[in-house]
Amino acid sequence: MFKSSKKPYQTVILGIESSCDDTSAAIIADGVKLANVTATQEVHKKYGGVVPELASRAHQQHIVPVVHSALQEAGIGVEAIDAISFTNGPGLLGSLLVGSSFAKGLSLALNKPLIEVNHMHGHILAHFIQEVGEAQGVPQFPFLCLTVSGGHTQLVKVKDHLSFGLLGQTKDDAAGEAFDKIAKIMDLPYPGGPVLDKLAQKGNPKAFQFPKSNVKGLDFSFSGLKTAVLYFLKKQLAEDPNFIENNKADLAASVQYTIVQTLMKKAELALKSDQFKGFAVSGGVSANSGLREAISQLGRKRKIPTYIPPFEYCTDNAAMIAITGYYHYLDGNFSSGNSTPNARMKLTL
């Protein structure tokens, strides 16, 4: 599309994300986001959680229109793309297969290179996405990243765009999973995280005391909290069938407070254990208002700059996959196209 002398961008990356229930496509040109289009799948709401087979089918329906919209929004044709990056794991295998197959097909058709991206790597590099016309402050290396999503809870030492050290992670449920499962126990709609967050804003975080896990070192555990809430509610409901209804906001605020305090305790321990130039949070749970406030507070206490993503880049999106693809592109990390998605891919680089 562009004559070489007139090419407005050096490197244009199409990113594709389909690891769970969001189908997303984005265009990143020289690190700047030109488009980020996401189709969310409403079909899972009535089941109270993501149904993998339905997710794959919905991805198949959404992927072509979503990529088309991203190109339109960016104002470019497919010929302008220099490489296609896609999520190769971790995630739901059937969902990953839709995005990876589409990316491979397009790569063959356009004769453009393919780049595999680890979804959790994408969440971390979301902090490097630049917006058109306004330079964003980015974390300096090394920084500590607390990555909290529906499937992961990790403390990562980010040494470079492509190099990490995993300091700690959850031994059972992830923080987002804890929000979702507790919301389900309270008969609230899926995904429970944003619903509890909204309710919590009207509640008293000290109304109920739930146990905070006591795992050694920088690891986490959230399954005990879920069980504690379950038994507590069973007991209360036996005495008052309207207990949840009458205490919704206080319950939400107390659960959120417990999760956020647990995350902050380990993050502070990590900050004390090493030298970091910044403290960042990423992943779906970073949209949580209580957590965002607590990150800023801890940053002020430890006198370290904090980085909290805009809401658009907290939950799953392809812009984070495209920016990660961009850094892989600069480093020459291309895919042979022969690998299959890995549902349990680890963050090792």
Q: Which is nearer to ligand KG4, 107 or 153 (CB)?
A: 153
172 vs 338: CA distance, rounded Å: 32
Q: Does 150 bind ligand KG4 (CB under 6 A)?
A: yes
Asked whether position 186 contacts ligand KG4 by CB under 6 A, the answer is no
Compute the least distance from the CB of residue 236 to Zn ion, in Å: 33
If one asks whether residue 87 binds Zn ion (CB under 5 A), the answer comes out as: no
In the set 113, 139, 151, 168, which binds ligand KG4 (CB under 6 A)? 151
Taking the mean position of all CA atoms in its chain, how far away is CA 342?
17
Nearest to residue 198, comparing CAs of 150, 267, 255?
A: 255
**Taking Cα atoms as reference points, which of 175, 276, 176 lies closest to residue 220?**
175
How near is the Cβ of 8 to ligand KG4 at its closest, in Å?
32
- Interface with ligand KG4, residue 88, by CB under 6 A: no
**Cβ-contact 186, 195 below 8 angstroms:** no
Is residue 283 within the footprint of ligand KG4 (CB under 6 A)?
yes
315 binds ligand KG4 (CB under 6 A): yes
Q: What does the H/E/C string look like for 240-258? A: CCCHHHHHHHHHHHHHHHH
- Residue 154 in contact with Zn ion, rule: CB under 5 A: no
The contact pattern for Zn ion, residues 128-147, with x = CB under 5 A and - = no contact, is --------------------
Dihedral over Cα of 108, 111, 117, 123: its sign? negative
Q: Judged by CB under 5 A, which of 85, 107, 316, 325 binds Zn ion?
A: 316
Q: Which stretch binds Zn ion (CB under 5 A): 64-72, 148-156, 206-214, 324-332?
A: 148-156
Is 192 a residue that touches ligand KG4 (CB under 6 A)? yes
Question: Which of Zn ion, ligand KG4, none is residue 176 near (CB under 5 to 8 Å by kind)?
Answer: ligand KG4
The partner in contact with residue 285, picked from Zn ion, ligand KG4, none with C-beta cut-offs of 5 to 8 angstroms by kind, is ligand KG4
Residue 17 engages ligand KG4 in binding (rule: CB under 6 A): no
Q: Does 89 bind ligand KG4 (CB under 6 A)?
A: no
DSSP 3-state of 305:
coil
Q: What is the DSSP string of 159-218?
A: EETTEEEEEEEBSSS-HHHHHHHHHHHTTPPSSHHHHHHHHHTTS-TTSS--PPP--STT
Element (H, E) at 70: helix 52-74
Q: How far is residue 113's CA from residue 79's CA, in Å, rounded to a whole number?
A: 13
Q: Are 213 and 195 in contact (CB under 8 A)?
A: no
Minimal CB distance residue for Zn ion: 149
Instruction: Provide the 10 A C-beta neighbour count for residue 334.
Output: 15
**How many other β-carbons are positioned within 10 Å of the β-carbon of residue 96?**
27
Nearer to ligand KG4, 33 or 292 (CB): 292
164, 179, 257, 307: residue in contact with ligand KG4 (rule CB under 6 A): 179
Q: Which of 180, 257, 294, 325 binds ligand KG4 (CB under 6 A)?
A: 180
Phi, then psi, of 34 in degrees rounded to 5 = -100, -25
**Does residue 87 belong to the site contacting ligand KG4 (CB under 6 A)?**
no
Q: Which chain residues interact with ligand KG4 by CB under 6 A?
A: 20, 149-151, 176, 179-180, 191-194, 197, 283-285, 287-288, 315-316
